């Protein structure tokens, strides 16, 4: 007699919602054409008080977990990973506002299986206009990090900031220091070996930290342009709120304190942290100016109507 039981899933697609019901539905629907493997879908909801996400997940055949408080992106993903069955070997971590192109997940799985030391595979990420997002980058060097932190707020065209934002090769398969957490495939055993995401990062830099720790543990981060996704929720920094800018700089400070830990490196930490705090001040001022200008423009339009 032929065993008709469904194959056990080897890959799970995990995401975190924060009032993202519409985006979640579209993302989960796109998974169908992205892989032929049995796939487990699971979503953690960091804002369960807002209706819609659970229904969208259930319709797609996924598992839904409402978290009692908002622990942040990395902590929510960690909670989902802990609940996965043992058959799951690979985990797709994705933002809810990502759309997978046909075959994208299978292409990443194939690349991940080519070498046993590959911990993560990142796809080519495009924005809604089709432009390539810089999703596979080097961990900033000490010189670049100091120069960028100290001068980006007062001298935007400085060479260190230009190097930090350099667009790298996105036409070929290559290793990277870290991969964007908006969409990547991770080997479960590697993820669990390093303890998953550092839950002290509430938002921002959890992906930089993850890639950095993979590298420190002897694993590789791999960029694969043959796998493509579209990230529909890209933001311009000019439109970010002061709170978001503050959260970004708080996370950057935590990463610096981790990377340059120890008594001997305290001058490096002090220099970088000073630069970040100055940069944060200028960024928040720009955000206030952006909001004020937008509000003034709206007032002018209302006065003419």
| Position 259 in a domain | no
SS percent in the chain: helix, strand, coil, step 5? 45, 20, 35
Listed in sequence order, the residues at least 6 apart from 1 whose beta carbon sits closer than 8 Å to its beta carbon are none
pLDDT band at 205 (very low <50, low <70, confident <90, very high): confident
CB-based contact 116:187 (threshold 8 Å): no
Mean per-residue pLDDT over the chain, rounded:
81
| Position 200 in a domain | yes
Q: Which of 16-25, 144-153, 182-191 has the lowest mean pLDDT?
A: 144-153
Helix (H, G, I), strand (E, B) or coil at 227: strand
Unique residue bearing structure tokens 């350099």: 166
- Would the pTM count as exceeding 0.95? no
Number of domains into which the chain is organized: 1
pLDDT band at 68 (very low <50, low <70, confident <90, very high): confident
**For position 270, what pLDDT does the model report?**
62
| Position 243 in a domain | no
| Position 257 in a domain | no
| Position 246 in a domain | no
CATH number (domain holding residue 202): 3.90.550.60
Which tokens go with 110? 């194939």
- Would you list the DSSP string of 51-111? TTHHHHHHHTT-EEEE-SS---HHHHHHHHHHTS-TT--EEEEE-TTEEEPTTHHHHHHHH
**278 or 158, greater pLDDT:** 158
Which tokens go with 176? 């990277």
| Position 210 in a domain | yes
pLDDT, average across residues 112-138: 95
| Position 154 in a domain | no
- The pair phi, psi for residue 227, each rounded to 5°, is -100, 125
List the one residue out of 127, 90, 79 whose CA is nearest residue 233.
Answer: 127
> In the chain, what percentage of residues exceed pLDDT 90?
56
What is the span of the domain harbouring residue 92? 11-134+170-234
Q: Which helix or strand (DSSP H or E) is residue 214 part of?
A: helix 206-216
Would you say the C-alpha torsion 22, 25, 28, 30 has a positive or negative sign? negative
| Position 269 in a domain | no
């Amino acid at each position: 007699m032929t065993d008709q039981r469904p194959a056990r899933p080897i890959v799970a697609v995990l995401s975190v919602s924060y009032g993202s019901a519409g985006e979640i539905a579209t993302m989960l629907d796109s998974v169908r054409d992205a892989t032929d493997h049995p796939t487990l879908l699971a979503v953690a909801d960091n804002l369960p008080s807002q209706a819609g996400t659970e229904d969208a997940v259930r319709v797609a055949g996924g598992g839904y977990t409402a978290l009692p408080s908002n622990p942040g992106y990395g902590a929510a993903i960690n909670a989902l990973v802990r609940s996965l069955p043992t058959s799951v070997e690979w985990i797709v971590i994705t933002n809810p506002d990502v759309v997978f192109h046909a075959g994208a997940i299978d292409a990443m799985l194939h690349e991940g299986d080519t070498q046993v030391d590959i911990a993560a595979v990142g796809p080519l990420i495009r924005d809604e206009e089709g432009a390539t997002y810089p999703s596979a980058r080097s961990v900033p060097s000490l010189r670049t990090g100091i120069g960028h932190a100290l001068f980006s707020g007062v001298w935007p065209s400085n060479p260190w900031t230009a190097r930090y934002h350099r667009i790298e090769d996105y036409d070929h398969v290559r290793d990277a220091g870290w991969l964007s957490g908006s969409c990547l495939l991770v080997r479960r055993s590697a993820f669990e070996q390093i303890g998953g995401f550092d839950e002290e990062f509430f938002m921002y830099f959890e992906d930089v930290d993850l890639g950095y720790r993979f590298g420190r543990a002897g694993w590789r981060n791999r960029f694969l342009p043959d796998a493509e996704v579209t990230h529909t929720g890209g933001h311009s920094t000019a439109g970010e709120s002061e709170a978001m800018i503050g959260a970004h700089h708080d996370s950057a400070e935590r990463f610096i304190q981790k990377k340059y830990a120890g008594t001997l490196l305290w001058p490096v930490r002090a220099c970088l942290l000073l630069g970040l705090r100055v940069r944060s001040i200028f960024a928040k001022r720009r955000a206030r100016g952006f909001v004020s200008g937008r509000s003034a423009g709206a007032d002018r339009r209302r006065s003419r109507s």
